[in-house]
Amino acid sequence: MAVRKYHLTFTPENVSEPVTYRLVKEFDVMINILRAEVDEAGGRLMIAMEGSGIQIERAIRYLEASHVQVQELKEFIRKDDSRCTNCGACVSICPVKAFVMDGRTFKVAFLNEKCIACGMCVDACPPGAIRLRAQV
Ligand code: SF4
Ligand code: SF4
């Protein structure tokens, strides 16, 4: 089983389709909605999808056939360890604890698999050690 993160973009025409329901019911994948936004331009959904490689592949094909734009989110931000002062500002601001401070060494580590691409840490980092890698 694998867990992959995707950013889905819906048009005004397909934004009301029960896409996540169908993904679970017909493609047997588990969906965790990380972020959701809907406006007059359509909708954007960030999801974590869990399933076998074949299940995920079929689910993605279904989304694309439904005219949903699918972008896999592998790396949203990157932390530059040479600039990081281990101040902990990102640890406080990250809503999903994707930054953790080692209580023994007082060094801050970034856990990419937890990141939900909210972008809040980028401006919160005093020395600019956190850079965006992808726009979603
Ligand atoms: S906010 Fe920036 S400098 Fe401070 S611990 Fe996080 S990455 Fe390092
Ligand atoms: S982008 Fe958001 S979720 Fe990802 S590490 Fe930064 S604050 Fe955390």
Cβ-based neighbour number of residue 126 at 10 Å? 11
Phi and psi at residue 78, in whole multiples of 5°? Answer: -135, 140
DSSP string, 40-70: TTEEEEEEEEEE-HHHHHHHHHHHHHTT-EE
Q: In this structure, which ligand is nearest to the CA of 90?
A: 1
C-beta 19 within 6 A of ligand 1? no
Residue 96 Cβ inside 6 Å of ligand 2? The answer reads yes
The pLDDT value given to residue 133: 80
Q: For residue 132, what pLDDT is reported? A: 87
Q: Residue 121: CB within 6 Å of ligand 2?
A: yes
Q: d(Cα 67, Cα 102) in Å, to the nearest integer?
A: 44
The minimum-distance atom of ligand 1 relative to the CA of 88 is 5
Q: How many other C-beta atoms are found inside a 10 Å radius of the C-beta of residue 61?
A: 12
Angle between helix 53-65 and helix 19-27 axes, rounded to 10 deg = 140
Minimum-distance ligand 1 atom for the alpha carbon of 79: 7
- Ligand 1 within 6 A of 128 CB? no
CATH number of 77-132: 3.30.70.20
Q: Which ligand is nearest to the CA of 35?
A: 2
Which part of the chain is CATH 3.30.70.260? Answer: 2-72
Tens digits of pLDDT across the chain (136 residues): 888 999 999 999 988 889 889 999 999 999 999 889 988 889 999 999 999 999 999 999 999 999 999 999 888 899 999 999 999 999 999 999 999 999 999 999 999 988 988 889 999 999 999 998 865 5
pLDDT at 135: 57
CB neighbour list of residue 62: distance below 8 Å, 6 or more residues apart: 22, 23, 26, 27
Q: Is 101 in the pocket of ligand 1 (CB under 6 A)?
A: no
The residue whose C-alpha atom lies closest to atom 1 belonging to ligand 1 is 125
Residue 98, pLDDT score = 96
Three-state SS string across 77-133, please?
A: EEECCCCCCCCCHHHHHCCCCCEEECCCCCCEEECHHHCCCCCHHHHHCCCCCEEEC
> 132: CA distance to ligand 1 center in Å?
14
Residue 15: per-residue pLDDT: 87
Give ranges for CATH 3.30.70.20 in the chain: 77-132
pLDDT at 118: 86
CATH superfamily of 2-72: ACT domain (3.30.70.260)
